[in-house]
Every structure is written in C-alpha cells, then in structure tokens.
Amino acid sequence: MSKLQKPWYIVIEGAIGVGKTTLARMLGERFDTHLILEVFEENPFLARFYESRERYAFQTQMFFLLSRYRQQQHRIRPMLGRQAIIADYMFAKDRLFARLNLGGDEWDIYAQLHSALTEQIPRPDLIIYLQAETDVLMRRIAQRDRPYERDMDRTYIDDLRQAYEDFFADFQAAPVLPIDTNPLNFVARPADFEFIVERVRSALREGIHQPSLPDMSPTIGGERLLQKGSPLADFQKFHTELDRIKGFETNIYFNYIRLCEEIGELGSELATSWKRHGQPDRVSFSAPETAAIGEELADCLAYLLKIANYAGIDLEQAYLQKMRRNQERKW
C-alpha cells in the first residue's frame, strides 16, 4: 500500500470490457483510496437492453443517468478534498452512451435532463482512459462471462470503442491519461500493473522516479516552465519552447551528432577522474569532479530530450514501457 500525497479524485474510463472496475479495485487497494464502483447490476432494464437495444434504450439510459447522479452527490461530493477517490466511471460517459443509443424525442428529453444535472457534478483531477481494440474487448467480455453479455453485439462494442476515441480526441474538461491496454495483463503480470501505477503517479506528479530540479528553475520569458518534481514530459516541453525562443537547430541528425559530442565529453571527464585516482575499480569523486560530470550528464539528457521531441516520442512513456519489458526478461 502506498498512499497518494493528495486527496485526488481519479476516474477510470474506457469501453465495455476494457478492465475499468478491475483496475479501480487494484489501484484503490494500492493507493488506499475511497473506492466508488458503478452499480450497473441494479439497473433492471440492462439485461433486456442487450436483448433489444432500441426498445429498452431510453429506460436503461434514464436509470443510469439518475443512479450515477445520486452516487456523485451522495458518495463522491462529500469525500472531495478529504480522501483520495478512485471511481470506475465518469459522469460524462453517460451522455456518450446515450448519444449512441437514443434518438429523436428520447434524446432531446435525455439531453435536457443531463445538461441540468451536469452543472452539479464535481470535476475529476485525472481521467485514466483505458484503450483496447475491439477484438481484445470482445475476448475480455467473454472471459468475465456475465450472463447478459454472452450475446454481446460486436458492432455495438466497435461503435462504442470509436465513440470513446472521438469523445477523448478533443476532451479538455479534465486531464486525461490514455493507456493502451492491448499488450497488458495487469491482473496476471505484476510488471504491467506497476507500469500503470507509475504512469498514474507521473500524471499526478507524484512519480517515485520523478526528476528533481532545484528551486531556481530555468525560466523562459519570465515564466517558470519547470517546477520541482516536474514529470519528464515537462522537460520535453521546456526544450520545445527553448528551441523556439533561442532559434536552436532542430534537425534530428545534427542533434544526434551533438549528443555524441556530449557523450565524448562525459567520457573524457570520467577518464580523467579515473586516471587521477590511480585507475581504481571504484572512485569516490570530489565535489568539483561531481559537478563537472553532472554538467556533462545534463547536456546528454538535454540532447536526448530534444531528439525525443523531434521524433515525436514521449520519452517518459517509452522509458517505462522498456523497463516493463526488461523486468520480464530473463538475464
């Protein structure tokens, strides 16, 4: 168990079968949070909806809308700011499902009620958006074997998956952390779960391995872009802005050459220290040596971040994915 540093309100979203509830339970236990799970089993229309979507869509959707609203008001709102919360759904998803299932007057009635209720819904601090391909979703739905899902329409799941993609493509109401779950099995493989935990902590700026900057962070145009404990993504943004302001060369191959030069300078500093200390197996560096080596390492990191920017790579995510694979390797 490792509690979060602040009473965050986190929600997990994604299409049916992606693993929202399972992950919510696991993260809730890891972070010792207040757990909110959707009570979909209480919907008396749900089983009939899957048998006849058009006939029972309105009843099903209205029940979910009011049920989710009550849960938001009576279970989530009183806990905000007092204890960390993880929920396996966000209120806004209700409209996404309704848009897919309702039409005509039913949609108009629903939309008016939803708009009125939304004004009183608390905003999450982070949305974990779990993604998976339709075939993966169908396989997971079959594996959990809920009776009313046994004849699940693949087209419906595919439409729902696409609706989620479209919904989050331009979603700006809260921070979103997308996680591709296609290659993951966070229930059976601990390394996969730890990968997600690190991604969540990083998104909340609570990462165990977060780089730490001095309080006198570099500024651009008087604005401090990097704060103490900033995630690696902010380091990349800093260099993007620095390139723009300073007019630095952004050719990826040129910067690769500069990286090689910096690695050479790092090697030179290490070789000098090694010789100065009589070529021992281990060296206890002096303060000036540590400072010089630190500067060269910082230059190397700067060029790595710049190259990642030019290649369109989220270096933090790439690193975590690679370390997850390394954990599974037999050396």
Q: Which of 32, 88, 170, 215 is catalytic?
A: 88
Tokens describing residue 47:
């089983």
Q: How far is residue 12's CA from residue 88's CA, in Å, rounded to a whole number?
A: 5
Residues of the chain with pLDDT under 70: 1, 206-230, 331
Q: How far is residue 14's CA from residue 99's CA, in Å, rounded to a whole number?
A: 16
User: Considering the domain 9-203 in this protein, what is its CATH number?
Assistant: 3.40.50.300
User: Considering the domain 219-328 in this protein, what is its CATH number?
Assistant: 1.10.287.1080
Would you call 88 a catalytic residue per the annotation?
A: yes
Residue pair 126/203 in contact by the 8 Å Cβ criterion: yes
* Domain parsing of the chain, residue ranges: 9-203, 219-328
The 10s digit of each residue's pLDDT in 159-207 is 999 999 999 988 888 889 999 999 899 999 998 899 899 889 888 876 4
Tell me phi and psi for residue 274, to 5 degrees: -60, -45
Supply the pLDDT for residue 88: 95
Supply the pLDDT for residue 219: 54
pTM, two decimals, is: 0.61
Tokens describing residue 241:
């802005």
**Identity (one letter) of the amino acid at 141?**
I
Tokens describing residue 263:
């690695």
Closest-CA residue to 308 (of 319, 299, 298, 320): 319
The 10s digit of each residue's pLDDT in 50-65 is 888 889 999 999 998 9
Supply the pLDDT for residue 210: 37
Q: How many CB atoms lie within 10 A of CB 235?
A: 22
